[in-house]
Amino acid sequence: MIIKHNVQLQPHNSFRTKALAKIFCEPQSAEELSEIVNAFPNERKLILGKGFNLFFTKDFDGIVIKPAMHGIRILRENDRFVEIEAAAAEDWDHFVKYCVDNGYAGIENLSLIPGSVGACPVQNIGAYGTEAMDAIVGVKAVDIPTGGCVAFSREECGFGYRDSIFKRTALYAITSVVFRLEKSFQYREKYIDLHRELEGIPSPTLAQVRDAVIRIRNRKLPDYNLLPNAGSFFKNPVLTEEEKDRLLSELPDAPVYTTNEGQFKTSAAFLIDRAGYKGKRRGMAGVYAGHSLIIVNYGTENGREIVDFMQEVQHEVRQRFGIMLAPEVRIY
């Protein structure tokens, strides 16, 4: 395995901010990954996927490890289900396409989310009423402090809304993910926008659902090649009863819904919109005019400018509505 030094991370993050990694490597197997964490016990470590959910504000004084293991294999199947293991460096949307092309149902609503398979459990990616945790049955990883191989069942992954044990602890380098998918598909309404897009199709097929998701996403989201961004910048806030009451007294039309855990949630995009930030630009950073949850980079290579703008949005929303928005994007 080649160990590189002072590697520019700008091509490795979709915000395209500049930073150097002191050490950089791309292990091609779990064994190589183990070797590398054992070889540098005292260095800070960052596991990097395709960089669609993170950006850099300064050089990384440690080792950036970008898993490079590939492969998709069927572990077991019967008439109803198939269990498939996909390696960490597989492109997420290629994997979704592979499943749809083979008639395996369960992750079609997650079409076109940019990133790697290895990152999908980290923030339990979700879209159009589906989350990765709905299909994941296991995750294989290298334990970063010891270099040992570990396996997690779905329950052990501690999944939550854009959350998991992998995100909370940053102690594991995921090497592969095991999914359980259904061999038959019956479309069920999960999300109103998607349902509308499928209007007129009496019994949509898997491919039609995937195409509909792709059409909506292409219409709604900025092209990160033209306008660098990391998708939804903030998480939808979970509110205490007091925060919910204050919000509704300020904004009676705020969308508030109760989660399965009996908490209250509202829309970060709605709050940003009402704070007057939709389409607003400050220097080289701004909120995308077509979607208030997305911060876009108009041309800076300095991640601090993105953070300054993020803090301005957070401050304004907090001042007006008493709610602190938490970033979904990881900032290094």
Q: Which residues bind ligand FAD (CB under 6 A)?
A: 14, 46-54, 67, 88, 113-116, 118-120, 122-123, 125-127, 166, 172-174, 221, 224, 229-231, 330
Q: Identify which of residues 152 and 172 has a Cβ nearer to ligand FAD in the complex.
A: 172
Question: Of these residues, 85, 197, 305, 328, which one is catalytic?
Answer: 328
Instruction: Spot the catalytic one: 16, 162, 210, 274.
Output: 162
Coil, strand or helix at 213: helix
Q: Does 162 participate in catalysis according to the annotation?
A: yes
Whether residue 59 contacts residue 100, with contact meaning beta carbons closer than 8 Å, is answered with no
Helix (H/G/I), strand (E/B), else coil: 275: coil
What pairing do the DSSP bridges indicate for beta strands 60-65 and 20-25? parallel
Q: Which of 14, 176, 232, 292 is catalytic?
A: 232
Report, in Å, the least distance between residue 322 CB and ligand FAD: 26
Residue 319's SS3 state is: helix
CB of 29 to ligand FAD, least distance (A): 13
Closer CB to ligand FAD, residue 88 or residue 268? Answer: 88
Residue pair 72/94 in contact by the 8 Å Cβ criterion: no
155 an active-site residue? Answer: no
Least distance between ligand FAD and beta carbon 246 (Å): 28
Tell me the closest approach of the beta carbon of residue 115 to ligand FAD, in angstroms: 2
Rounded to the nearest whole angstrom, what is the least distance from the CB of residue 168 to ligand FAD in the complex?
Answer: 11
Would you say 166 or 277 has its CB closer to ligand FAD?
166
Nearer to ligand FAD, 114 or 247 (CB): 114
Comparison of 114 and 138: residue with beta carbon closer to ligand FAD: 114
243 is catalytic: no
CA proximity to 104, closest of 194, 185, 213, 198:
185
Nearest Cα neighbor of 147 from 59, 48, 27, 60 is 27
Strand, coil or helix: what is 32?
helix
* In the complex, minimum distance from the CB of residue 245 to ligand FAD, in angstroms, rounded to a whole number: 29
The values of phi and psi at residue 23, to 5°, are -135, 145
Nearer to ligand FAD (CB atom), residue 67 or residue 321: 67
> For residue 206, what are the contacts with CB-CB under 8 A and spacing of at least 6?
100, 103, 105, 108, 185
Q: Mention every residue, 6+ apart, whose C-beta is less than 8 A from residue 87.
A: 67, 69, 70, 71, 72, 117, 118, 175, 176
Q: Which is nearer to ligand FAD, 137 or 173 (CB)?
A: 173
Shortest Å distance, C-beta 233 to ligand FAD: 10
Nearest partner of 214 among 96, 133, 328, judged by Cα: 96
Residue with token string 């709605």: 270
Token readout for 304 is: 């601090």
Q: What is the dihedral of CA 320, 323, 328, 329, to 10 degrees?
A: 40
- In one letter, which amino acid is 83? E
Residues with catalytic roles? 162, 232, 328
